[in-house]
Amino acid sequence: MLNLKTKLTLILSACLSLSTVSAAENSDDANKLSTAEKKSGWKLLFDGKSTDGWRNYQKDGVSDGWKVKDGVLTRAEKGAGDIITDDEFKYFELSLDYKISPEGNSGLMFHVTEEEKTPWRTGPEVQIQDNVDGHDPQKAGWLYQLYKPAPPRTGTEEEKSKPADATRPAGEWNNLFLRIGPDRSEVVMNGIRYFRFNKGSADWDKRVAASKFSKFPKFGKAEKGHICLQDHNDLVSFRNIKIRKLADDGSAPDPSDGALAIKGVPAFPDLKWEGWEAVNEETGKIVPLRPMVVKSADDSGRLFVATQRGMIHTIDTKSPKQAKLFLDIREKVAPWKKNNEEGLLGLAFHPDFAKNGQFFVYYTAEGMPRKSKISRFQVSASDPSKADPKSETVIMEIDQPFGNHNGGSIEFGPDGYLYIGLGDGGSGNDPLGNGQNLETLLGSILRIDVDHQANGKNYAIPADNPFVDRAKARPEIYAYGLRNVWRLNFDPKTGTLYAGEVGQELWEEIDIIKKGGNYGWSVREGTHNFGNRPETAQEKPIAPIWEYDHGIGRSVTGGTVYRGKKLPELDGMYVYADFVSGKIWALKYDEKAGEVTKNLRLSTSTVPVMAFGTDADGNLYYCVETVKGGEGIFRLEKE
């Protein structure tokens, strides 16, 4: 007869096998590379069909203990042995999904050489195990005996006293990301960075000397080696095993189909800004200008530019020598020097601005507690070139728990309603769980009617908003599951709403915003796992149309669909940028097919871009921080 332990092992193996099949059947993207991944150099290490490219350690082939079924590679039988890649890798990024059995244990090793009896005597190991019932105090994602994550900064006192744990339970898929580079190496578990390290550094050597690996002289010494998946006598499954080689300087291939001969040039090189000086006369300190919004409002030939500190200027594009002060609310606006993501962040003109003179501003209010305000202002009755600063009517106030992720983009849609892009409230990892919570406005895009008032508010709710009839849901919400929208833009031809969604540790994304849509944060980052919160929302997350990883850039600046006449090669393309890398691309999205067909680099300098905008003719501009007035706004033109 079988003993109890053997019976339980067989039952657990069967359960995991069944759940593995189910998960694979329900995952259309398993063992596939997205268009963006292919363009940026990612390769599959497992094709979902065979063990090609792998072999057992110090062997020529793979043992029968490793099984491939329904797109999943499973260590299913005892004695399967550790397996390694045929190829060796020096600098790389690797991503894989794993599913561990209850009490199970495995590992991912790198820079493995075959000089020792076992791979762990040369290759450092990232632990893979069941953190709830596992028998090893070294948890999943820890670099075995060397590095572990710090405690989280938010949560209960008990949670803040223990190392962070972002893993999902046994039987569920987890994503493990490993980067080994010349400048930095890191481990990220389900989208949450656990730690960084530098292999071979003084800190590394000190930790190795204090570990059991000190007696193995070849441990961690190789500059390149195999990837290894460990057989620890437990049932474990893998899929989506992807790798990207990095150049010796740590860079990754740009995800583009080539470049367009279009460059950025200062749009108004001789421009002076009324009310702003680059140096404060009293303190002698530099005072950078940060244009946040550039757009037209009517056919007057004027451009309106909102700056983060709290001023709005107008520029006569026919004689662009002086940016005239249109509105100054600096005394009301929180200075961005205190919190980089606060300040005046949004500007939108009423569809009937030419007749009614109304415009709307989104800003972080000075003082505590933190609040974002959306306010209506009116053009001065006595001077149409100025706004009336006393005309402010606060339409909406939003409490902000932290000083980042304010969002702030506001736009009128083709339907005449005002759309408001909000962040999740800030800090990191969405500590309050706002992204998937319909009871809060944060982490959402709102849609309100500013031409009517109802229920004691200075706005009304459009009757067809998607959550007006859902209990406890805020009726202002149009879409949710967003971390920090930076920026919103309607295609002026099709009315499609685009959003740049800033990611956290690994992925930046471009989304098409749909009514009632859930965009996944903070259980997803793009198309990838994030953290270990359960997915409880009624709406299945909508995948971005485009995403790029942090080997390419680190903070997306959402752009605009070009519909001008001067650059026909850009017609219908979504022009966007990355704030950290300074790169600018043009994305061609086929709305009927629902897919990106091209991503082209523009020949611009790598200056951080904060926002894009257009004039009445559709000419495209972008904004950068400047201490030279004539270099705050650039225009795209042919080389």
pLDDT tens, residue by residue, 279-289: 876 777 888 99
Which runs of consecutive H residues, i.e. helices, occur in 114-250?
157-160, 202-209
Beta-carbon count within 10 A of 327 CB:
25
Is the torsion defined by CA of 177, 20, 547, 342 positive or negative? negative
Using 50, 70 and 90 to split pLDDT, how confident is the model at 13?
A: very low
Compute the mean pLDDT over every residue in the chain, rounded to the nearest whole number.
92
C-alpha 12/C-alpha 6 separation (Å) is 10
Query: Would you state the pLDDT for residue 361?
Result: 98
**Domain 259-382+402-638 is classified in which CATH homologous superfamily?**
TolB, C-terminal domain (2.120.10.30)
What is the per-residue pLDDT across 416-466, written as a single tens digit (0 to 9) for each?
999 999 999 999 999 999 999 999 999 999 999 999 999 999 999 999 999
Query: Would you state the pLDDT for residue 223?
Result: 96
Task: Please report, for the chain, the start and end positions of each structural domain, with discontinuous segments joined by +.
Answer: 35-245, 259-382+402-638
| Topology of the domain comprising 35-245 | Jelly Rolls (2.60.120)
Rounded mean pLDDT of 165-181?
97
Query: Would you state the pLDDT for residue 18?
Result: 33
Share of residues in the chain with pLDDT > 90 (%): 86
Is the torsion defined by CA of 11, 12, 16, 19 positive or negative? positive
27 versus 503: which is more confidently predicted?
503
C-alpha 168/C-alpha 165 separation (Å) is 9
Rounded mean pLDDT of 537-550?
96
Give me the DSSP letters along 236-256.
EEEEEEEEEE--TTS------
Using 50, 70 and 90 to split pLDDT, how confident is the model at 29?
A: low
C-alpha 253/C-alpha 552 separation (Å) is 8
C-alpha 612/C-alpha 561 separation (Å) is 10
Query: Would you state the pLDDT for residue 152?
Result: 85
Which runs of consecutive H residues, i.e. helices, occur in 4-149?
4-25, 35-39
Rounded mean pLDDT of 593-601?
94
Closest CA to 424 of 380, 469, 485: 485
What is the per-residue pLDDT across 512-525, written as a single tens digit (0 to 9) for each?
999 999 999 999 99
Predicted model pTM: 0.93
Rounded mean pLDDT of 550-577?
96
In eight-state DSSP terms, residue 74 is E
Residue found under tokens 């800030």: 426
Beta-carbon count within 10 A of 378 CB:
17
C-alpha 66/C-alpha 319 separation (Å) is 72
C-alpha 189/C-alpha 529 separation (Å) is 9
Query: Would you state the pLDDT for residue 300?
Result: 80
Query: Would you state the pLDDT for residue 338?
Result: 86
What is the per-residue pLDDT across 245-255, written as a single tens digit (0 to 9) for each?
999 999 999 99
**Residue 310 vs residues 331, 346, 350, 396: alpha-carbon distances, Å:** 8, 10, 19, 18
Bridging pattern class, strands 66-69 and 72-75: antiparallel
| Cβ proximity of 181 and 246 under 8 Å | yes
**Residue 317 vs residues 61, 292, 303, 622: alpha-carbon distances, Å:** 70, 18, 7, 15
Rounded mean pLDDT of 8-30?
41
What is the per-residue pLDDT across 144-158, written as a single tens digit (0 to 9) for each?
999 999 998 877 788
**Residue 576 vs residues 257, 420, 556, 631: alpha-carbon distances, Å:** 15, 19, 8, 19
What is the per-residue pLDDT across 324-348, written as a single tens digit (0 to 9) for each?
999 999 999 999 888 889 999 999 9
Query: Would you state the pLDDT for residue 4?
Result: 36
Domains 35-245 and 259-382+402-638 share a fold: no
Bridging pattern class, strands 387-399 and 72-75: unpaired
What is the per-residue pLDDT across 92-144, written as a single tens digit (0 to 9) for each?
999 999 999 999 999 999 999 999 999 999 999 999 999 999 989 999 999 99
C-alpha 266/C-alpha 48 separation (Å) is 51
Query: Would you state the pLDDT for residue 5?
Result: 37
**Residue 166 vs residues 91, 128, 523: alpha-carbon distances, Å:** 25, 12, 11
Query: Would you state the pLDDT for residue 3?
Result: 40
| Cβ proximity of 226 and 123 under 8 Å | yes
When computed from its CA atoms, the radius of gyration of the chain, rounded to whole angstroms, is 27
Query: Would you state the pLDDT for residue 22?
Result: 32
**Residue 564 vs residues 41, 265, 407, 627: alpha-carbon distances, Å:** 33, 17, 27, 29
Exposed (0-12), middle (13-18) or buried (19+): which is 104, by Cβ within 10 Å? Answer: buried
What is the per-residue pLDDT across 230-246, written as a single tens digit (0 to 9) for each?
999 999 999 999 999 99
3-state SS class at 610:
coil
**Residue 68 vs residues 57, 85, 128, 171: alpha-carbon distances, Å:** 18, 16, 20, 17
Query: Would you state the pLDDT for residue 281?
Result: 67
Residue found under tokens 């979504």: 574
